[in-house]
Amino acid sequence: MITHRLSRLKNAVLVLGLALATLSVVQLERARLGVEMRDLDAGTTPATLYQTDESGPVVVIAHGFAGSRQLMEAFSLTLARSGFRVVAFDFQGHGRNPVPMSGDVTAIEGTTARLVDETRRVIDAARAETGYAGPVALLGHSMATDVIVRAADGDPGIGALVAVSMFSEAVTATAPDNLLIITGQWEPYLRTVALDAVRQVYPGADEGQTVRADDLRRRAVVAPFVEHVGVLYSPVSLREAREWIGESLGHSVSDSLAATGPWLSGLMGALVLLVWPLAARLGPRQPVPDPLPLRWFLAILALPAVLAPVIATQVTLDILPVMVADTLALMFLIFGGLQLIGLRLVGLRLGRIHWPALVFLVLWGIGVFGIALDRYGASFLPIPERVAIIAALTLGTVPFMLADAALTGAGQAPFWRRAAARIAVFTALSIAVALDPERLFFIVIIFPVLLLFYVVHGLMGRWIGQHAGPMAAGLGLGLVLAWALGVSFPLFDPGL
């Protein structure tokens, strides 16, 4: 009776997941309906022109660190639907840009200066492509806020700036002269930065207040209930940016917003949810493996968490043209390798590979989920320059995820054991950063990526592992993790 009810529930979830995925795709495509999207020639910088009106003002949009054009598409579509001609681009080292970031990342005259130069080249390309001679607006997120503030300095052709989640030491009491700052409610430090920038003009200013002094105009607004990424999809963010740019450039705007965030979440959630009923087609659920004795479980977690960062930070590798990827791959290799050795010593075996399950997990995680993410949310399809990087990362991620699948019983272990395994990983990464903060600080960027991976792909791997065992789940998740890291981290070559 219980088995029959579970089967009916899974069939219902399958129908519900398919319906939600279909509805989400329809709504995401509706946001694009009527918007012309085509590549724009900006030299080596990949750029896309969004437009519904071939005579509207030009807006150039720049993403943040580890971002891409796709991540900014809610702004691009919203502004294009209001008649602006929008050019969004991938910074060096990001998305589909084949040119690595370069220079000293700690110096303004280093990496930042090169990104400023690239932004100015895109502005010039946008003007040339559209033939537009009027004032251009710039919109940037996170890292790009500092870049657009500096790119606008001294350029009388820049008519408005919109800085989303801003941090920039280039903002002064006199420049830029037309600045909107949008911050998520759950970004307390950046909210303070935004208020400080507005209070440089008017000391008594508050959030939501537009202040003026001579030719200066500034405003700091808060998008409710969102953080550093959610702010990009907030209707408040989209509306404030559209109205600020429209008023600044003397362009009337429509009421249409491309509020794609909920539908993107719906699509991604549906694709994850569908794995649960589909995994049941791989065979009967396997029995829950006997747990490791507590002392061995804790030892196999704790020792690699300490030894992996200590060993990895003693080795300096400059093989992969990606920020901290060499150290990260080495850490994963040592961490996972030590755990596999420990598991072998206590007699735990991984079993055989369930090939259909392995193929399904990889094709679904990279193909179905990844292609959907690449179209609507973030760059996930690699350019040729990243293929070798993904392959190299698998040398570390595969043993790392194999050990994780074995330790957690392919997701069937008690929740506290699965949580402890994740905490050990983040502890190891934190130790590595603490041991060599100057060289490895950017490992901190992997924290949200890895956490999201555990929540999304880890859940898919757990459901598949319950029917196929740890080998298929560990191998599949190791390949997907290498892919996710290989396409997310910026290409970087300090020697250029």
Q: Could you report the per-residue pLDDT of 108-145, keeping only the tens digit for each?
A: 888 999 999 999 999 999 999 999 999 999 999 999 99
Residue 487 has pLDDT above 60, yes or no: yes
Residue 448 has pLDDT above 90, yes or no: no
Under the banding of pLDDT at 50, 70 and 90, the label for residue 10 is confident
Six-digit token string for 466: 């319950």
What pLDDT score does 440 carry?
83
Instruction: Please name every residue paired with 284 in a beta bridge, in sequence order, or none if there are none.
Output: none
The closest of 493, 326, 336, 362 to 421, measured between CA atoms, is: 336
Tell me the CA distances in angstroms from 419 to 1, 306, 464, one per residue in order.
Answer: 32, 18, 19
Establish how many alpha carbons lie within 13 A of residue 494's alpha carbon, considering only the half-sphere containing its beta carbon. 9
321 contacts: CB under 8 Å, gap ≥ 6: 100, 385, 389, 491, 492, 493
CB of 111 closer than 8 Å to CB of 103: yes
Cα(41)–Cα(47) distance, integer angstroms: 7
Check whether the bond before 176 is cis (ω within 30° of 0).
yes
Cα(390)–Cα(323) distance, integer angstroms: 13
Under the banding of pLDDT at 50, 70 and 90, the label for residue 444 is confident
CB of 146 closer than 8 Å to CB of 112: yes
Quote the Cα angle for 288-361-397, to 5°: 85
Mean pLDDT computed over every residue of the chain: 93
User: How many beta carbons lie within 10 A of that of residue 382, not counting itself?
Assistant: 17
Residue 362 has pLDDT above 90, yes or no: yes
Q: Could you report the per-residue pLDDT of 264-322, keeping only the tens digit for each?
A: 999 999 999 999 999 999 888 877 777 889 999 999 999 999 999 999 998 877 778 88
Q: Could you report the per-residue pLDDT of 13-65, keeping only the tens digit for each?
A: 999 999 999 999 999 999 999 999 999 999 999 999 999 988 999 999 999 99
Q: What are the boundaries of each domain within the chain?
A: 34-258, 264-488
Cα(433)–Cα(444) distance, integer angstroms: 8
Residue 495 has pLDDT above 80, yes or no: no
Instruction: Please name every residue paired with 450 in a beta bridge, in sequence order, or none if there are none.
Output: none
Cα(188)–Cα(179) distance, integer angstroms: 20
Q: Report the predicted TM-score, pTM, of the whole model to 2 decimal places.
A: 0.93
CATH topology of domain 34-258: Rossmann fold (3.40.50)
Quote the Cα angle for 451-455-456, to 5°: 115
